[in-house]
Chains A and B, each alone.
Chain A
Amino acid sequence: MPPAGHRPLDPSLPPSTEVDNDDRAPYTPGSSSSLSSSSLYKHLRTPSTSSLNIRHPVDLRAITYDGAVDENLVCPICRCPLVDPVLTECDHIFCRACITDALSNTKLCPIDRSPLDSDGVSRAPKMVHNQLDSLKAKCPCCASSFARSMLENHVEKYCPEANVKCPGIYSEKYCKEVVKRRMSGRGCLHYPVECPDCKETLLLVEMEEHREASCNEKLKACEHCGVNILRCKESEHHEECPDVIRPCNWAEYGCQHEAKRTDLHLHADECSFKLVGPMADTLKKEIKLLRSDMRSLAETNHLQERRIKFLESAQRASDRPMELMDLSLANLPESANTEPLDSGHEYLLSLLESQQSRLSQLSNELTDFQGKNTMMLLNETIPIKNELSELRSTQQVTCMHVRWLMRFRMQENQRRFGGSPGPGPSGSPDGGGSSSDLPFSRRLSDSAPRDIITKL
């Protein structure tokens, strides 16, 4: 730990002159306060930059080591270079944390399963520690390489990318934020400012990164033609920039030539692919067309196959005589299939045609069959209908008979029990009664006699 006020001799630290750098002036909130605040910072900064340091415990298992680490220096449990190595009674080396964890589960050495207690574990030899300390590893903040033992010190005191307390913590602001060490020399930067390019309001501490990387309104010189363009339009510009190096138009057919966009037409006249290129292009188009044709044909073929299958199954289910025709039909495409065909296309087409004709034949058969079926149905239903009407008329006749008999019986009964004339039309003589009954029974049609029967 260096004494207060001591400046560490680290080249990566920003030079002290930057403190009074004027480029900070436009960002300060008010011109009147800028003078007082800068003098205030000057006063506050002088005690030491180390007073801003935060403790940075570096996780030695999370850092990246340079190159492959000797397998003998790797802990068998965490598979990382050993951290605080210890030696067991059975001569195996582990990280202290790893073996303690393992022994809390089982009191056996993880390597040879010999009984082991936490008392049987002691600090590894100095040589092992030294070897581990000299391993080169990358700083998790600035990615430069250091010996592992120096890493924590570097991050805590020198690394320009490591976070430190904001110097504002010592001002009236008591700013509790953190800043990267390289920014800490400029006082508290945690106040909002407007980006001069895109007018977005950001904290000053984020402004540098914003202007460097993400601000879309910032002008940038094109790396090819040198013209200033907006960063967000960069890719669009590259599409039309005359100085961008482009491959020859026929590069995909093997031309190796590359030239600036403006000079490409000069090459086009002498390109050895100028004849082959267009031809290949047309051929490509043709192939594409044929491919799509083939695909659509295959699709329709598939569809028709499915329809044929469906129709076949429908036929098989419906009729037996049809099966005979089916067989004769099945012979047809087979003969077509055996014909010698040179190309796959022709074969596909012929298959398609045969299947189409087969399909139309099948649909014809089906309509014929449907016609036959309806005729048959009609032939069978007509006599049944006739019979039904006959039966209906006979039923009516029998109904009339029953009714007549019933009335006759009722009249007889009335005559027998007291001879008083009933309320019905029974008072009239037999002949008249029957004649007046007839239209009545006919008007009631079927329902009336049935009622009587059920009541009986």
Chain B
Amino acid sequence: MAALPKRIIKETERLAKEPVPGISAVPHEDNLRYFDVSIHGPQTSPYEGRDGTVKHTHVHLSNVHVGGIFKLELFLPDDYPMTPPKIRFLTKIYHPNIDKLGRICLDVLKSNWSPALQIRTILLSIQALLGAPNPDDPLAPDVAKRWKEDQEGAIATAKEWTRTHAMT
């Protein structure tokens, strides 16, 4: 494999030095283009994995996130940053824009990719997608249908999946 471009080294260094709150991305030792990512479910979303009654301040003090933590894998192709990184959810998630295999429907990961985007901005976009599901542009049609017809039920299922899959 070709030498690691300076940009990837810089991004990795910055991710370690100034991590984005609620997001961590650590490269594999044997392949520095492959990252283990974990994203905390955004607050007040069904993926938060916590009842709204619990005070957030308490959690921040203990410095341990007790809510839903979603694992993802991220791979930077050889021609990154000219092509977008490949990202997939490893944790099961009930979301209209994420399918059973963990693939994500997000414009900036496909047609709207720009080489000026970075790993951190993309992961922030994914975290934002968790906070704002978009059933009008679905990847999992059954989830999107339920989301439109019975939003409360769908949110309840999403909360339950978060509890069972993202809180171990």
Contact = CB atoms under 8 A, between A and B. Distances in A.
Q: Are A and B physically bound partners?
A: yes
Interface of A: 61-62, 76-80, 98, 101-102, 105, 108, 110-111, 113
A102 B6 contact: no
B1 interface: no
B6 A111 contact: no
A78 B5 CA distance: 9
Contacts of B116: 76-77, 110-111
Given A61-B6, A102-B82, A79 B11 contact: yes
Contacts of A79: 6-7, 10-11, 118
Nearest to A76: B116
B36 to A, nearest CB: 22
5 contacts: A77-B81, A78-B6, A79-B10, A80-B6, A80-B10
A79 B115 CA distance: 10
Given A78-B7, A79-B7, 4 more contacts: A76-B115, A76-B116, A77-B7, A105-B82
A215 B145 CA distance: 75
A98 B114 contact: no
Contacts of A77: 7, 81, 115-116
Nearest to B81: A77
Interface in B67-101: 81-83
Contacts, number: 37
What's the dominant secondary structure at chain B's contact region?
A: loop
Interface in B88-124: 112, 114-116, 118
B11 A110 contact: no
A110 B115 contact: yes
Interface residues of B, number: 13
B114 A80 contact: no
B115 to A, nearest CB: 5
Nearest to B111: A106
Contacts of A105: 82-83, 115
A110 B112 CA distance: 10
B110 to A, nearest CB: 12
Given A77-B81, A78-B5, A98 B115 contact: yes
Given A79-B11, A101-B82, A110 B6 contact: no
Interface in B5-57: 5-7, 10-11
A14 B83 CA distance: 49
A77 B82 CA distance: 9
Contacts of B82: 101-102, 105
A78 B80 CA distance: 10
Nearest to B9: A79
Nearest to B83: A105
Contacts of B7: 77-80
B150 to A, nearest CB: 36
Interface in B104-153: 112, 114-116, 118
A61 B6 CA distance: 7
B15 to A, nearest CB: 12
Residue from B10, B11, B116, B118 whose CB has the most chain A CB atoms within 10 Å: B116
A111 B114 contact: yes
Nearest to B3: A62
A120 B81 CA distance: 22
Contacts of B112: 113
Nearest to A99: B115
A447 to B, nearest CB: 72
B114 A110 contact: yes
Contacts of B81: 77-78
Contacts of B6: 61-62, 78-80
Contacts of A101: 82, 115
